[in-house]
Structure 1
Amino acid sequence: MARPRSEEKRNAILAATIDLVAEQGLGAATADVAKRARVPHGSVFTYFGTKAELLNAVYVELKSELADAIMKRMPDDGSVRDQLRHLWMSWTAWGVSSPSKRRTLAQLSVSNQITEDSRRAAMTVAGGAVEIVQRAASNGALRAMPISYVGALVETMVGTTMDFMMRDHENAEAIRDAGFEALWQALN
């Protein structure tokens, strides 16, 4: 009889993968993942059948964590601007405080190894945030554009803002605030 899988080992493999992809890129070896997670190499494939399955699991995990960070304490009765600002503040805070996760998610987001099923799962998890962006854009120049396009523009703006916040700690707050105003103007 097979041993039950350990949530602790699974999480260690995911964490090791996040760190190694951030450091080495998507070519990081599963043997290095196992070594960093302090599990036998075969354990990686016990928990994730292939490297692609592992990368897809990391992608969905990071998207879920980001969505949770964004939606935590979201003002239910706030205006769409207030909700979008909360989204922006939470997203930039997550990215600046988790640079390895942010780098890994950025690489996975453009990888052809991420399946459509994983992308759909991530969109489902991010549904609340997506809906806020849709409402913010509903009357602006982008109102007729697909939400995937609008979302990609938002991701690019938040990514650029986080990059500059991390480079210029002294002005990070002003950069974050200016980035939000630019986003609001772009969407509305």
Structure 2
Amino acid sequence: MNKREMIINKSLEVFVEFGFHGAPITKLIKSAGVSNGTFFYYFKTKEDLITAIYVATKEELYDVLGIEIEQVVSLKKSIRELWMKWVIWGSEHEQKFKFLELFSNSPYVHQLNKEEMKNNFTFVQQLLRKGIEEEVIVSMDIRLLSELIYSSIRGTILFNQRNGMLSEVEMESVFNLMWKSIVNF
């Protein structure tokens, strides 16, 4: 692991534990075990570091979830795969999931340009549009539909983090409950 990655990994832990405002640069430098010069060589400001952690974490999640819309054969199967992968990733990467939650509820979220925020997850919107066009999914605002699906993902991740991982059967039941809430009857 190089020094930049070490700063990112250790700072992520500090931010999750103390929040953005409770983590001064001195604490970040100390946790990473690097000099001031090394820290500022990689990150000009704490905000640059926060953004770098966010982008790296979102890219990691995107790589896990990546579904090519052209390869979708079964909409339900594709959404199920996406949902399961996201829940498993969030359950297994508690610190990274908590960081994304912290970031999404902070003023820093408004500092990223809108394209940077949504670029990695356009395939989710494409998948949902495909479902609406094929009349498989209820026709509604894609942003609201995305939030409804994400709320079930988030809730399941939080449950898993607090109580241990659900069994495959339980995970399947939770997914089916979510699916029934968006499917067009």
TM-score by length of 2: 0.83
Worse-matched range after superposition: 59-68 or 115-124? 115-124
Letter in 1 for 2:143: S
In the alignment, what sits opposite 1:71? 66
Alignment of 1:123-162 (within 5 A): 123-138=118-133, 139=135, 140-141=137-138, 143-145=139-141, 147-162=142-157
| Aligned residues of 2:58 and 2:120 also touching (Cα < 8 A) | yes
2:97 aligns with one of 102, 122, 140: 102
1:3 aligns to what? none
User: Deviation of residue 119 (structure 1)?
Assistant: 4.7
Task: Give the 3 Å change call, closer, same or farther, for CA 26–170 of structure 1 in structure 2.
Answer: closer
Following superposition, the deviation at residue 74 of structure 1 comes to 9.1
**Most deviating of 73-82 and 23-32:** 73-82
Q: Which amino acid aligns with 1:40?
A: S
Mean CA deviation greater in 116-125 or 13-22: 116-125
Give 1:21's match in structure 2, choosing from 5, 15, 22.
15
Distance in structure 2 (CA, Å) of the matches to 1:170 and 1:70: 19
Q: Which amino acid aligns with 2:10?
A: A
State whether structure 2 residue 8 is matched by structure 1 residue 11. no
Q: 1:173 aligns with which of 151, 161, 168?
A: 168
For 2:53, the aligned partner's letter is: V
Give unpaired runs (5+ residues) of structure 1: 1-6
Query: Matched residue pairs, number?
Result: 180
- Counterpart residue type for residue 112 of structure 2: D
Cα deviation code 1:130-159 (max 9, x no counterpart): 322443455444x331x3333232222111
Name the % identity. 24
Go from structure 1 to structure 2 and tell me whether the alpha carbon gap of 1:151 and 1:26 turns closer, same or farther (over 3 Å shift): farther
Provide the rounded CA distance (Å) in 1 between the counterparts of 2:115 and 2:104: 12
Answer whether contact 1:165 1:173 (CA < 8 A) is retained: no
